[in-house]
Amino acid sequence: MASFLDSIGYNGWVLPALLVIPLVGAIVVLLLPAREPADGTAGVESPAARQVAFWFFVLEFIVSLGLWWSYNPADRGWQASIDISWIPSWGVRFTLGIDGIALMMVLLTTFIMPLSTLGSWTNIRTKVRSYYALLLILSSGMIGVFLARDLFLFYVMWEVMLVPMYFIIGIWGGERRIYASIKFFLYTFLPSLLMLVAIIYLGLHLRGAGGVPDFSYDHLLAANTAVPQRTALWLFSAFFLAFAVKVPMFPFHTWLPDAHVEAPTAGSVILAGIMLKMGTFGFLRFGLPLFPGAALNPTVRMIILVLAVIGIIYGALVAMVQPDFKKLVAYSSVSHLGFVMLGIFALTLQSVQGALMVMINHGISTGALFLLVGIIYERRHSRLIDAYGGIARVVPMFAAVLTFVSLSSIGLPGTNGFVGEFLVLVGAFRTYPVLAVISTTGVIFAAVYLLWALQRILFNPLDKPENTHIPDLNRRELAMLVPLIAVIVWLGIYPAPVLRRMETSAQLLVDRVQAGTSAPRVSEAAP
């Protein structure tokens, strides 16, 4: 496989191609003629749009899949890099590259996107072309965030990703979509502006050769010791806010339940599956390596860790009392992402690898849960847990899949969920035993909120007449769920190939950050 990829010069063009393919797709979708709903398309206008979008996403996935083989885990540097001068006067370059962490995030993205397209198939019926065009643009933006090796480029991609999601929630969302979309936009946009200021400061302050501002990640990484400690703390705070909102960390999480609940199915899937990873990815890529002294300042670190642990428990407890199943899943994300933050800031190889696994697993399992919520909502037009009860008898396949995915979400060993949580906790225990033990109680609460909801939806008496005629999963829904189930099993039983591909990068990160905290720094008094 690797030699075939070499023969087509795969590494030379793959990363820009991943950014361009969805954009081309978006243009093609927009150029499609507007069509009234035809027979057999379930009242969906311009049904060709979804076909085009789906196949572009499949193409994107196939192209990205080569990275799995072309990526060399032994190589500590950037791979498949490209570097083009972009805005020379500002020192901004169009620089892309992947390491083991970005590799898995990109693959997660390209894997989720076609499935979420299938999840939109019949429930997006109006403005169909715009919807799929936005989905495609969004995909480019997200992949750009993972690939960017220039902080300015990173910021651009960060914002490119924000806008389509704003529309997806605001136009195709539920009843309170306007409130939710504006809340989402402001909540994530304002801290991002602070981050922009910090990025500009870094670029201007740590000028490269010839006095030109330099936003290149590698340059800033090498030069960051020139930032005074106090300034580094401020800069870190700006990055922290931008990322903490995206994660979302307690107490910056309240946009999430609203956004999730109001977003259409694919919006929720992408939000949970991919966009929540932007925050934790940001900490791994930028927050920690650029400001190791600030991030690992004992007080700062303890505050972040405690917030992470609160998030784990708080998210689970609040999820438990939600009457709305979609909101329950949304709050469960707060809990899961708390594990990720704990793993990152506990900063052992196991905990960081575990955090990365939880990021992937959460994308798969919570993505699948949102698809399932969408499936049942499409049939009964209710997300309330109390509207159901006993339907396992009516929809046995749906019940089997929902049960299975829930078990993966609560971290049953043998499924993906366990691997991530176990690694986070076993690693975190080495540095923060008390916090790790407290967090471990999260596994109890997870079982409570998810299995209790499961019981009230699938089990108990089938006592509502409107539930007796719910159709079971159809072919398309099975086609989008089966790959997710397969990945849940694969990552639960044989995660070693994934872990190996990430290990070098995770180790590099741990070493770099730990070395960074002990490196000599310019004192406050120095000019």
Partner 1 sequence: MLLQAVAAAGAQTHPLSGTIAEWVWLLPLLPLLGFLINGLLSLSSAHLGPADPSATAHDEPSEGAAEASVVTHGEESGAGGDDHHAVKRHRWAGLTSIVGPGVLIIAFGLAVAIWQTMVSAHPDAPFIQRYFSWMPVGDLQIDAAIQLDQLSMVMVLVVTGVGALIHIFSVGYMRDDPGYPRYFSYLNLFVFFMLVLVLGANYPVLFVGWEGVGLSSYLLIGFWFNDKQNADAGLKAFIVNRIGDFGFLVAMFMLFANIGVLDFVGVNAKALDLGAGSALVTTICLFIFLGCTGKSAQIPLYIWLPDAMAGPTPVSALIHAATMVTAGVYLIARSAALFSLSPVASLTVAVVGAVTAIFAATIGLKQWDIKKVLAYSTISQLGYMFVGVGVGAYVSGMFHLVTHAFFKALLFLGSGSVIQAMHNAYHATHSTDDAQDMRNMGGLRRYLPVTFVLMWIATLAISGIPPLSGFFSKDEILGSVFARAHGSSLATATWLGIPGGTLLYIIYGIGLAAAFLTAVYMTRMMLYTFHGPTRTGAEEEKYLGEAPWVMTGPLVILGILTVIGGWLNLPKVVTDIVPLGPGELFGHFLDPVVGSATARITAGATEVAPTTEEALIGAAVIIAVVGIIVAVARLKPANVPRAKDAIPETGFEGVVAHKYYVDEALDRTVVEPTYVVSRSFLWRFVDNGVIDGLFVNGSAALARTFGWIGSRLQTGNTGIYAWSLVVGVLLLLGVITLR
Q: List the interface residues with partner 1, window 481-510 (CB under 8 A).
A: 493-496, 499-500, 503, 507
**Is 470 an interacting residue with respect to partner 1 (CB under 8 A)?**
yes
How many Å apart are CA 465 and CA 228, to the nearest integer? 68
**Is 26 an interacting residue with respect to partner 1 (CB under 8 A)?**
no
**Is 135 an interacting residue with respect to partner 1 (CB under 8 A)?**
no
Length of the chain, please?
A: 527
**Is 426 an interacting residue with respect to partner 1 (CB under 8 A)?**
yes
**Is 388 an interacting residue with respect to partner 1 (CB under 8 A)?**
no
327-386 binders of partner 1 (CB under 8 A):
349-350, 353-354, 375, 378-381
Please give the full DSSP string across 443-496, using - where no structure is assigned: HHHHHHHHHHHHHHHHSS----GGGTT-----HHHHHHHHHHHHHHHHHHH--H
For partner 1, give the closer residue by CB, 434 or 526: 434
**Is 422 an interacting residue with respect to partner 1 (CB under 8 A)?**
yes
Q: Which of 136, 241, 473, 488 binds partner 1 (CB under 8 A)?
A: 473
**Is 306 an interacting residue with respect to partner 1 (CB under 8 A)?**
no
**Is 458 an interacting residue with respect to partner 1 (CB under 8 A)?**
yes
Residue 163 CB, nearest approach to partner 1 (Å):
5
**Is 251 an interacting residue with respect to partner 1 (CB under 8 A)?**
yes
Residue found under tokens 């027979």: 39
**Is 423 an interacting residue with respect to partner 1 (CB under 8 A)?**
yes
**Is 441 an interacting residue with respect to partner 1 (CB under 8 A)?**
yes
Q: Which token pair is 153?
A: 């480029």
Q: Which of 161, 300, 407, 513 binds partner 1 (CB under 8 A)?
A: 407
For partner 1, give the closer residue by CB, 232 or 269: 269
The helix, strand and coil proportions of the chain, stated in percent and rounded to the nearest 5, come to: 75, 5, 20
Hey, which residues does 98 pair with through a beta bridge? 79
Residue 100 CB, nearest approach to partner 1 (Å):
13
Q: Which of 34, 62, 204, 397 binds partner 1 (CB under 8 A)?
A: 397
For partner 1, give the closer residue by CB, 56 or 158: 158
**What are the two backbone dihedrals, phi and then psi, of residue 284, each rounded to the nearest 5 degrees?**
-70, -40
For partner 1, give the closer residue by CB, 41 or 110: 41
201-220 binders of partner 1 (CB under 8 A):
none
Residue 413 CB, nearest approach to partner 1 (Å):
4
79-87 and 92-98 strand pairing = antiparallel
Listed in sequence order, the DSSP H helices in 206-324 are 217-223, 229-246, 255-262, 265-270, 276-282, 288-290, 292-295, 298-320
How many Å apart are CA 84 and CA 267, to the nearest integer? 33
Residue 352 CB, nearest approach to partner 1 (Å):
9
**Is 318 an interacting residue with respect to partner 1 (CB under 8 A)?**
yes
3-state secondary structure 56-71: HHHHHHHHHHHHHHHC
Q: Which of 384, 452, 483, 489 binds partner 1 (CB under 8 A)?
A: 452
For partner 1, give the closer residue by CB, 200 or 394: 394
Half-sphere exposure of 351 (CA within 13 A, CB side): 26
**Is 303 an interacting residue with respect to partner 1 (CB under 8 A)?**
no
N- to C-terminal Cα separation, the chain: 54
**Is 82 an interacting residue with respect to partner 1 (CB under 8 A)?**
no
163-202 binders of partner 1 (CB under 8 A):
163-164, 166-167, 170-171, 182-183, 185-187
- For the chain, the C-alpha Rg in angstroms (whole number) is 22
**Is 429 an interacting residue with respect to partner 1 (CB under 8 A)?**
yes
**Is 136 an interacting residue with respect to partner 1 (CB under 8 A)?**
no
CA 71 to chain centre: 21
Residue found under tokens 């090498």: 222
* Listed ranges 53-61, 97-105, 211-219, 452-460: which one lies at the site for partner 1 (CB under 8 A): 452-460
Q: Which token pair is 476?
A: 């398309």
**Is 400 an interacting residue with respect to partner 1 (CB under 8 A)?**
yes
93-122 binders of partner 1 (CB under 8 A):
94, 122
Q: Which of 100, 390, 417, 516 binds partner 1 (CB under 8 A)?
A: 390
**Is 72 an interacting residue with respect to partner 1 (CB under 8 A)?**
no
How many Å apart are CA 367 and CA 105, to the nearest integer? 14
How many Å apart are CA 324 and CA 68, to the nearest integer? 38
How many Å apart are CA 442 and CA 319, to the nearest integer? 12
CA distances from 94 to 34, 87, 107, 489 (A): 36, 8, 21, 38
* Listed ranges 65-73, 103-111, 284-292, 469-477: which one lies at the site for partner 1 (CB under 8 A): 469-477
**Is 143 an interacting residue with respect to partner 1 (CB under 8 A)?**
no
